[in-house]
Amino acid sequence: MADYILIESRDPFDSTETGNFLDLAEGLSKEGSEVALFLVQNAVMAARHGAKAAALAALAANGVKVLADSFSLQERGISPNRLMAGITVAPLSAVIDYMAAGRKALWH
């Protein structure tokens, strides 16, 4: 069974399609794949503590490793201490780490 690195670049408050991508992450995880979801660019807006992003919070609580790009957070003035529970700050190199390890990589 393949494992995955999913890269979300869009703000869920701007693009409703992000819900489909989160559904994909959830589905892959439920089928037994290891799934990491990396938030980059405006996607990190949903990682803020208090943001209305229940689906993202649920993913983080149910087996999907959710990471937020440190540079994207810094660009937007979001403190790493102000993220919702279960989301970890990571450098973009984490994506390359996952790719080098052979995870299937999907960008949205």
Partner 1 sequence: MMGKKTLTFLLMDAPFETARTTTALRLIDIAARRGYDINVFAYEGAVYLPLASQAKHANAVHGTDAAEEDHPLPREWVAAVMQEAVRNGGKLDWVNCGLCVDERGANEAIAGVRRGSPADFWKMAGASDNVLVIPTR
Q: Which residues bind partner 1 (CB under 8 A)?
A: 7, 9, 40-42, 71, 92-93, 95-96, 99-105, 107
Q: What is the DSSP letter of 48?
A: B
> Between residues 86 and 106, which has the closer beta carbon with respect to partner 1?
106
Tokens found for residue 70: 């440190």
Least distance between partner 1 and beta carbon 101 (Å): 7
Least distance between partner 1 and beta carbon 98 (Å): 9
> Between residues 38 and 59, which has the closer beta carbon with respect to partner 1?
38
Q: What is the DSSP letter of 52?
A: S
Least distance between partner 1 and beta carbon 39 (Å): 11
Contacts of 30 (CB under 8 A, 6+ apart): none
